[in-house]
Structure 1
Amino acid sequence: MMSDQPSDMNYDTFRECLSNALVARSEPQRKKGKRIEVERIDPEELAEFFLASEAFTTFPEPLQTLSYAALQHNPSLAIYVPEPDTPLPRQTLETICSPVPVSVTDSLVVYGIIPDAADLVDFLSPVLTEYTTSVTTGPPVWANTRADACEICERDWIPLSYHHLIPRGVHAKVLKRGWHDEWTLNSVAWLCRACHSFVHRMASNEELAREWYTVEKICEREDVMDWAKWVGRVRWKAK
């Protein structure tokens, strides 16, 4: 079965959400026409400083590993996913933020991001909302994933076709044996005809479904890497 989104990827997403909030609050402040001088630090550095070492790991483990797949398997995780245009409930936010070390709050106050320690929850509210929405977004409709170049050889001047990463002929077996969730069955990769044919030569439909169900997994194979290097040098164009 396809694994949930790794927590390190979630960390990167959260750090990006927080960095955006820090950038927004790091704009020069003015009061009655005068610039307020506050000790400042690069927002990216500040995000890395207190998130990597202190904040993210204090969040509940289900929040750290939250994903669309996890939400499908455990609907109770919906407590972390607000309705559109709605912030997380105050009680949920306070539960999430309560273990965050004082040093994190102090850093935000010292660098002028929040005026007071009591403002931590309000500051993190939109950050957490953006984070949870991002990591639980469902897979796109396959037609909207079309690439500009072959996802194996990267040639961009020849026609592409879509390859069902979980071949349709084995969908019933996939579901019966629990290899993947139903919502993953129509995931596709956009490949040139040569690479598409190579993929189907390299493994049976059942093997593709069980072992080679993402472009990343396919491209990790040594034979695929060798093939991509060779075919990528072929320069003729389709008529």
Structure 2
Amino acid sequence: MTSDENYAIFRECLSNAIVARSEEKPKPTKRKPKSKRVTTTTASTGRSNPEELAEFVDYLASETFTSFPKPLQTLNYAATQHDPTLLKIYAPDADTPLPRSTLELLTTPIPVSVTDSLLAYGIIPDAADLPDFLAPVLAEYTSSVTAAPPVWASTRADACEICERDWIPLSYHHLIPRGVHAKVVKKGWHDEWMLNSVAWLCRACHSFVHRMASNEELAREWFTVERICEREDVQDWARWVGRVRWKAR
């Protein structure tokens, strides 16, 4: 998971909190903000204009997320497996919220314009309430990004993840071939928890993947569907085989 993916998750968590507060307090305060805020409302509901609300959320999320420490911006399951202290710092269990001291350390670098905007729109009643407002947002964010990968069987797709045909049977392809699992662990190419990750492919695409690279190459270079689909030969193959349809009996 990249910092861009983490940002998208944080933005969604922040959006949920802002929308919920906006529903409680739909009218902005009279205080003039120092930055962007939502001012246009619909006549029928009094709710904020969705496009402006999205712009408002994007601005706040960007300013807030980039002020966080890099370990929090890039936090993921793999990182917590290598450094368990990250969980203690940023993602205690659901019954143990972040300490106030940690929240204050995380929120202090956030630009004042963010606090002013939240105040102007009535999202928070006072500047001192910023840590309390962000506490559940951070809890939802850290819970999402540190979640363990799902059991492979639960990831079954409705269509081939390469050619996207959805009318033919699928089989699962071990993205890190089982024949090289021992070598992968010994060489430290991947963490052990990644060994059973799979992609759901039609038989034709499954065979193509094994023709395009050796097991070691698949394990080292082509261990995600996204990486595989970046290859030009795979894209050409997918366009061709995607047009192959079975004849009706």
TM-score under structure 2 normalisation? 0.87
**Relative to 1, partners in 2 of residues 1:37 and 1:186: Cα closer, same or farther, differing over 3 Å?**
closer
> Which of 10, 20, 23 pairs up with 1:14?
10
> Which of 178, 181, 186 pairs up with 2:191?
181
Per mean C-alpha deviation after superposition, the further-off stretch among 35-44 and 185-194 is 35-44
Quick check: 1:232 aligned with 2:228? no
> Which of 69, 72, 79 pairs up with 1:70?
79
Quick check: 1:27 aligned with 2:37? no
Q: How do 1:1-239 residues align onto structure 2 when only pairs under 5 Å count?
A: 5-27=1-23, 29=25, 38=29, 41=38, 42-52=52-62, 54-78=63-87, 79-236=89-246
The one-letter code sitting in structure 1 at the alignment partner of 2:203 is R
The one-letter code sitting in structure 2 at the alignment partner of 1:23 is V
Q: Deviations over 1:58-112 (max 9, x none)?
A: 1111111111111111111111002024422222111111111211111100011
Per mean C-alpha deviation after superposition, the further-off stretch among 7-16 and 156-165 is 7-16
Q: Kindly state the Cα deviation for residue 238 of structure 1 after the two structures are TM-superposed.
A: 9.6
**Relative to 1, partners in 2 of residues 1:125 and 1:238: Cα closer, same or farther, differing over 3 Å?**
farther
**Relative to 1, partners in 2 of residues 1:124 and 1:37: Cα closer, same or farther, differing over 3 Å?**
closer
The one-letter code sitting in structure 1 at the alignment partner of 2:22 is S
**Relative to 1, partners in 2 of residues 1:232 and 1:94: Cα closer, same or farther, differing over 3 Å?**
same
Q: CA RMSD in A?
A: 1.7
Could you tell me how far apart the structure 1 residues matched to 2:161 and 2:190 are? 22
Could you tell me how far apart the structure 1 residues matched to 2:201 and 2:22 are? 44
Q: Which ranges in structure 1 are unaligned for 5 or more consecutive residues?
A: 30-34
TM-score under structure 1 normalisation? 0.91
Aligned residues: 229
Q: Kindly state the Cα deviation for residue 161 of structure 1 after the two structures are TM-superposed.
A: 0.3
**Relative to 1, partners in 2 of residues 1:159 and 1:115: Cα closer, same or farther, differing over 3 Å?**
same
**Relative to 1, partners in 2 of residues 1:36 and 1:229: Cα closer, same or farther, differing over 3 Å?**
closer
Q: Percent identity?
A: 75
Could you tell me how far apart the structure 1 residues matched to 2:162 and 2:94 are? 36
Q: Which ranges in structure 2 are unaligned for 5 or more consecutive residues?
A: 31-36, 39-51
Q: Please say if residues 38 and 111 of structure 1, whose CA atoms lie closer than 8 Å, have aligned partners that are also in contact.
A: yes
Structure 1 segments of 4+ aligned residues over 6 angstroms from their partners: none
Q: Secondary structure at the match of 1:189?
A: strand
Q: Please say if residues 158 and 237 of structure 1, whose CA atoms lie closer than 8 Å, have aligned partners that are also in contact.
A: no
Could you tell me how far apart the structure 1 residues matched to 2:201 and 2:69 are? 40
**Relative to 1, partners in 2 of residues 1:9 and 1:36: Cα closer, same or farther, differing over 3 Å?**
closer
